[in-house]
Amino acid sequence: MNLFCVGLSHHTADVETRERFAGHAETDCIVRGAGCTEALLLTTCNRVEVYAASEKRVSTDEIARCLARNIENDHNEYAPPFYRYEDEK
């Protein structure tokens, strides 16, 4: 099982960007559809993070695309620096 966290925070993105990527109720379902067996979306004023588990590795770009689905702009033109933690203790 591959456990990971993909997100952005006040260290990597401004508040407007974080607000745009803040998830909607259906985002965790979209993430699970990207190959994750389990997913949790955490959104606070300082960060937007997806905690997930998958049988195979799911790319950071794929998770970013899931978060960007509700953004009007094209994801490629609007891609803040996401961080990734994987299998860390």
- Catalytic residue status for 45: yes
Per annotation, catalytic residue among 29, 36, 45, 66: 45
Side-chain-facing half-sphere of 45: CA atoms under 13 Å: 0
3-state secondary structure 19-55: HHHCCCCCHHHHHHHCCEEEEEEEECCCEEEEEEEEC
Give catalytic residue positions. Answer: 45
